[in-house]
Structure formats: structure tokens, C-alpha cells
Amino acid sequence: MEIKTTEIPGLLIIEPSVFGDARGYFMETYSVQVFAENNLNITFVQDNESMSNRGVIRGLHYQLEPWAQAKLVRVIQGSVFDVALDLRKDSPTFGKWHGIVLSGENKKQFFVPRGFAHGFAVLENNTIFAYKCDNFYKPAFERGISFNDSNLAVQWPINVNDAIISEKDKNNPIMDLAEFNFKM
């Protein structure tokens, strides 16, 4: 398992070692030991999975402190363009986003620490998205930022005018009007 940094502190790309043969493949998707060796002392408490079709955008979602969540996200089948937005007010990259294609084929994972909004655009039908969280879902603390905030200028690789978006996500405020309480 190789852990790579991004230009945003704390946001990591994880590339598992994949061992394939005539039967298929095997890979380790998470190791508390590898995380600890990389100073990622996180206890995941919940696993989630969703299935979506091409053209869906989910996000940008987060939970306020004290129920903020770090996430380890991956795609089991299909592909997404995954985005994390830094909402840590004292971060040198506050308001910056990073996007990456995650797919069942490339097997990459994205570690999104607490203090980030997260979302994704689905690039293939029947995409299965899975993620671990280090805190429980608390609806009263759930917040969102508009996926198409022009000040953020996320470069979604699908036509956002034709995207399939929940009513809740359509009504998320732009970042300048959003509530968040994160520090590094």
C-alpha cells in the first residue's frame, strides 16, 4: 500500500498493492498498522456503500464539529470523479479543492480528513462507492455546499446542467454562505 500526499495538507491518495492471477485479484484496502506508520491514528466506526448511475452528483457534504467525519473512500465497481474541499479556516489551502478519478479498475482510494466537504460525480452506470467514516452520521450536524458554486469552480467532468442531483443538494448554499467550524 502506497500513501501519496496531495497539494492540500492531510488529503491523501492511497494506492493498494493488487495481486492478480487467473482467479482474479486480492488487495488489502485498509490496515491500521500502515495507517499508524504514516501517523494516521484513526479509528473507523462505520462503513457505508452507495450505488449510483452515470450523471449523478452527490455533495458537497460534511458534518460540523464535534461530529465531523474523516473518510476513506473508494469505488468497487464503475468510476467517479471524487472531490474534497478544504474548509479548515486556518489552513493555507482553505477554499481549495482536489479532484481524482476513483474506479474499480484503478483501485485508488482517497483519504479525506475532518474539516473537508466531500462529493463526487458518477462517470459510469452501476457504480458502487464505499467509504469508511471515523464518526457516526448525525443528521442535525449535516451540512452542504453547492456543487456548482462558481467561486469554487469545480471542474466536474460531466454536464452539470444534465446532472441528477437530490433536492437537498440543489439547495445547498455557496461556500461564502455556508456554516462550518473547522480548524487544522
Which residue ranges make up each domain of the chain?
A: 2-177
**In whole angstroms, how large is the CA radius of gyration of the chain?**
16
Peptide bond into 66 cis (omega under 30): yes
User: Which residues, listed in sequence order, are joined to residue 63 by a DSSP beta bridge?
Assistant: 142
Distance of CA 157 to the CA centre of its chain: 16
Residue 35 and residue 41 in contact, taking contact as beta carbons nearer than 8 Å: yes
Nearest to 133 by CA among 14, 45, 42, 67: 45
Query: How confident is residue 183, by pLDDT bands cut at 50, 70 and 90?
Result: confident
- 128-161 tens-digit pLDDT: 999 999 999 999 999 999 999 999 999 999 999 9
Peptide bond into 16 cis (omega under 30): no
Active-site residues, by number, are 61, 131
**pTM tops 0.85, yes or no:** yes
The superfamily (CATH) of domain 2-177 is: Jelly Rolls (2.60.120.10)
Residue 7 has a pLDDT of 96
